[in-house]
Amino acid sequence: MEPDAFQTTDGVGMTAVTAQEMREVDRVAVEEVGLGLLQMMENAGRNLAARVGRFEPSRVTVFAGNGGNGGGGMACARHLANRGVAVEVVLDRPPEAFYGAAASQHRVLEAMGVPVSVGPIDHAPDGLVVDALVGDGLEGAIRGTARELVETVRAVPGRVVSLDVPAGMEATTGATFGPSVPADLVVTLALPKTGLRKLDGALVLADIGIPTVVFDRAGVPYDPPFRDGPLVELRQKSGE
């Protein structure tokens, strides 16, 4: 944990947390306070879509894995499609391998008729790319189809936006042990992760609806930053 590691543009200090500390925040939110994973995933996807929409893309490709990160990416795809953006989704595994809230998000996309395919793919997509392949749980090098999709994203000529942490980067250390996504922008969730100090691109913090009491119970210093909306630009603390 690194208190005041980042600041908002208004000078509000933001604590950066390790992957393990973020998992504890999630646990408290769900088990002690009663928030649902699908609820937080929905907030993540909606706010990611809102930030992506500021670029006014005509076409977006979402690369999605399992779990909360992939589910957030699929929710983002739905919200973009609802706004008339041409969206396609590329998964890192067959749909039947998804479970829980991520599987629910996939079922909605299927019902909507949003194009969904399973990677790897043999071309770099046109337009903006959203990387929702791996969240803060990565340990070591990214592997399998997800690794191949990271290589595909690396060849994309356009803008790349990552959800929470760029795929291939460890959330705690910022280390990469193989290919990683060169994100132009990262929309990180609830709190910045300590490894994002090594990020080259821009960083935005997104509200996923976690109340202050959760951070208090998890022992995380927290000054609510979302006074003017659910998306806040972050920078590293001045002088660092």
pLDDT, tens digit, 9 for 90 and up, residues 31-77: 999 999 999 999 999 999 999 999 999 999 999 999 899 999 999 99
| 230 lies in some domain | no
| 103 lies in some domain | yes
| 31 lies in some domain | no
| 114 lies in some domain | yes
| CB contact burial 144-157 (16+ within 10 A = b; e otherwise) | ebbbebbebbeebe
Task: Name which of 18, 6, 133 is nearest 73 in CA terms.
Answer: 133
As a residue count, the chain comes to 240
The pTM of this model reads 0.95
| CB contact burial 172-183 (16+ within 10 A = b; e otherwise) | bebebeebbbbb
Phi-psi region of 4 (alpha: psi -120 to 50; beta: other; left: phi over 0): left
**Domain, as residue range, for 137:** 37-205
Token couple for 167: 């795929």
Measured distance CA(174)–CA(192) in Å, rounded = 12
- Structural domain total, the chain: 1
pLDDT band at 124 (very low <50, low <70, confident <90, very high): confident
What are the C-alpha distances in Å from 181 to residues 8, 154, 157, 162, 233?
24, 6, 13, 8, 20
CATH assignment of the domain containing 72: 3.40.50.10260
| 232 lies in some domain | no
| 9 lies in some domain | no
Mean pLDDT of the chain: 94
